[in-house]
Amino acid sequence: MQSLRCLALLAVLVAPQALADTLYRVELILFRHAAALEASRPAPPDWAHGTRLLARADERAPALHDVAARLSPDRGYQVLMQRAWQQRIANDGETIALTQGDRRFEHYPLQGRLKLRPGRYIQADAVFWVNRFGEHGQLLASERLQQRVRLEPRKLNYIDHDSLGLLIELKPL
């Protein structure tokens, strides 16, 4: 009986750490669902400070093709970015930087940060910019999605923000 209590206590002490450092498959779809609403402030030059650029080795083939296909222009949507990768979600919550398109000075046409922290629900801090450039490559304006939300693993989570939307699916591996 005493050893059973010790085993139960050990399981309680070790379980939070095991949950706090789990490998996930993360997939996101950034899309536009209304006319562009450009932010009054463009994306800052140091938008990716303190982040880790998503490595090609961590990227995976997207799986949400049917979902992305339903976000078609004839239904009023435009898919801007669809990416999938594998990431370890730990207590400190590493921030991943995502980009798409050719770099112009310190910005990309699509750029963003995603920070995921563990818990019963995954805490997500998302900031994405859709940038518009001038003829000489200078940043003229940015459309921004910024949200802090709780995501439920194993489900497709929707984040709505002005003219942009974000779908995120997290699957433990």
DSSP conformation letters of the chain = -HHHHHHHHHHHHHHHHHHTSEEEEEEEEEEE-SS--B-SSPPPTTTTTT-EEPPGGGEE----HHHHHHS-GGGT-EEEEEEEEEEEE-TT-PEEEEEES--BTTB-SEEEEEEEE-SSSEEEEEEEEEEEE-TTS-EEEEEEEEEEEEE-TTSEEEEEETTEEEEEEEEE-
pLDDT tens track for 76-101: 999 999 999 999 999 888 999 999 99
Q: Place 136 in a pLDDT band, splitting at 50, 70 and 90.
A: very high
pLDDT digits (tens, 9 = 90+) for 98-110: 999 999 999 999 9
| Predicted pLDDT at 18 | 47
State CA 143 to chain mean position distance.
Answer: 16
Q: How confident is the model over 118-140, as a mean pLDDT? A: 94
pLDDT band with cut points at 50, 70 and 90 for residue 41: confident
Q: pTM score, two decimals?
A: 0.84
